[in-house]
Amino acid sequence: MAVLALFAAPISAQQELTFSKVGMLPTYRQMHGSVVLGDYLYVMGGELGGVQGKDIWTNTVLKAPLLPNGSVGQWTPTTAMPQKRGYIGASTMALNDVVYVVGGSNGSEAYNTAIYAKPQADGSLSPWIQSPPFSTVGLSNFPVVATPGYIHVLGGADISSRISAATMSGRIGPSGEILQWEAGPRMPTPLWFHSAATLGGKVWVWGGLPGRDTSKLSNRVFSAAILSDGRLAPWKEDPVKLPVNFYMGVSSSAGPYLMTLCPKTYEKGKTVPSSDVYFTSITPGLGGLKNWTSVPSNLPVKLYLAVAADYRRGRVYIPGGRKKGGDGPNAADFFDPGVFMFTLSAKARAEYKDEAEAAETVRTGSYTYQKADILPSTAVPGFLSLNAARRFSIAEAPRKPLVLYFHKEGTKTCDQQVQILKDPAFAELSKQAGFAWMDTETWPQLRSQLGIYRVPTWIVYNANTQELGRATQVVTIDQLKQFLSSVK
């Protein structure tokens, strides 16, 4: 899935991932999208549980309030999408204060645009706005991911099941609008029904179908480094592969984890759905993956899921979905309208507490891209806003490095770092690079995208926009000087 979700606690192979049933949809729904924004859970589009070959595609959108105990209140309709879009479980995203639905199809037509809307004070959605086209043909069954200032379409298939290896990157404006699309680096193989997430300064892709033959699923893992401007570097294959070949499912990142929930495998001449969760973790600072493993879950739905992460409260919701394949006269045999929820463990919440706070302390403000032009009043002289630092680094030839400093006000180590940075020597050093002050309270999703787990953290990009290195520690002026002197 596209949302950067606080999805799971550190888990071991001896545990089961346990979901609670916290509500019911008013009707069956599969192949839909879902997000959490503010105090509401939304579901949009998909198919309403048609049986015996009679699909009921829909453009309806529902919202329900999230109650303090995590349960879901009464569902009410809100602004419908302009088209009936399905197969959007992996291509629906909540980013800052905007809902994006990218591509999708309804069995007879596929779409080559994104649509996006914002929630109003009462939770209702604004009218949907349609983006410029990202492809010459409509695509579906692909994941979208976010990097600073961009959302990325990764592969997918057209209505005739022709499969793409393309990456298309949509640049996001200051109010969340998609300004334009541009081609990114092509993936090493065409893929659809694959998993993807952003973690640790990279975009990761794993599993999926490289063709139409479901007996030839992929176990390969690829990554593309996030450049300083939010674009992607060329893809590389990771040496750590999946333990089994799989496709479908819903995917996400959480803290140092990548995971896929409910993928399908190929066994004994047929594809087999499961409720298992496959996961791995990234080694902070090194960027490599550990071996993948899996645990079972108690989810009754296994196919065409939508997942919505409430990263501020440390919860994940799965509304609706399909229990099994096949067809017949009784929809109850194949679908479940339940809304299921999983809560992070206390340990996981403590390890990633800035994004998974207790419900009573949730921050309700919106995080828009306008923040990229705002320098916090607490910033030390010599620092710039993110956009100003980017402009400074490219203003002259040769270009200068870009340095991101992640800070949290009131943290002991950050207070120590600030005292060092008040040295007049830093003001002189700041002329050699664009130094951006990144308050983690303002940038929770960007922090997740870049894999910032502790503060203070420094990330240095060279003049070619590539990440050169990072340090999670208090650094001295001399250490900064030494590092910058080695940047080419």
pLDDT, tens only, 346-403: 554 444 443 333 333 333 333 345 566 788 889 999 999 988 998 998 888 888 999 9
What is the pLDDT at residue 467? 87
What is the pLDDT at residue 265? 96
Tell me which of 161-165, 240-244, 389-393 is least confident: 389-393
Tell me which of 85-94, 211-220, 263-272, 348-357 is least confident: 348-357
Distance between CA atoms of 8 and 11, rounded to whole angstroms? Answer: 8
Distance between CA atoms of 350 and 443, rounded to whole angstroms? Answer: 18
- Residues with Cβ within 8 Å of 112's Cβ and at least 6 positions away in sequence, in order, are 103, 133, 134, 135, 136, 137, 138, 139
Q: Tell me the CATH number of domain 374-485, given options 3.10.20.520, 3.40.225.10, 3.30.450.40, 3.40.30.10.
A: 3.40.30.10
Using the predicted structure, report yes or no on whether residue 9 has a pLDDT greater than 60: no
Q: Which residue has the higher pLDDT, 1 or 433?
A: 433
Percent of the chain with pLDDT strictly greater than 70: 89
Burial 232-255 (b: 16+ CB within 10 A, else e): bbebeebeebbebbbbbbbbbbbb
Reported confidence tier of residue 7, pLDDT bands at 50, 70, 90: very low
Strand 467-471: give its sheet, edge to edge.
434-439, 402-407, 457-461, 467-471
Q: What is the pLDDT of residues 282-331, one digit of tens each?
A: 775 556 789 999 999 999 999 999 999 887 777 889 999 999 999 899 99
Using the predicted structure, report yes or no on whether residue 10 has a pLDDT greater than 90: no
Q: Measuring CA to CA, which residue among 50, 145, 52 is closest to residue 100?
A: 145
Residue 336 near residue 57 (C-beta atoms within 8 A):
no
What's the fold here for domain 20-361?
Neuraminidase (2.120.10)
What is the helix (H) or strand (E) element at residue 195, kind and residue range?
strand 195-199
Using the predicted structure, report yes or no on whether residue 426 has a pLDDT greater than 60: yes
- What mean pLDDT do residues 130-154 have? 95
| Tokens linked to 312 | 């501020």
Using the predicted structure, report yes or no on whether residue 3 has a pLDDT greater than 70: no
Question: Could you tell me the residue ranges of all domains in the chain?
Answer: 20-361, 374-485
What is the pLDDT at residue 134? 97
- What mean pLDDT do residues 89-113 have? 94
What number of other Cβ atoms are within 10 A of residue 374's Cβ? 15
What is the pLDDT at residue 354? 39
Using the predicted structure, report yes or no on whether residue 90 has a pLDDT greater than 50: yes
What is the pLDDT at residue 396? 81
What is the pLDDT at residue 371? 66
What is the pLDDT at residue 394? 87
- What mean pLDDT do residues 409-426 have? 94
Residue 331 near residue 54 (C-beta atoms within 8 A):
no
Tell me which of 197-211, 242-256, 277-291, 461-475 is least confident: 277-291
Q: What is the pLDDT of residues 435-468, one digit of tens each?
A: 999 988 777 777 777 878 789 999 999 888 888 8
What is the pLDDT at residue 11? 46
- Residues with Cβ within 8 Å of 50's Cβ and at least 6 positions away in sequence, in order, are 56, 331
Global confidence as pTM:
0.85
- What mean pLDDT do residues 425-438 have? 93
Using the predicted structure, report yes or no on whether residue 257 has a pLDDT greater than 90: no
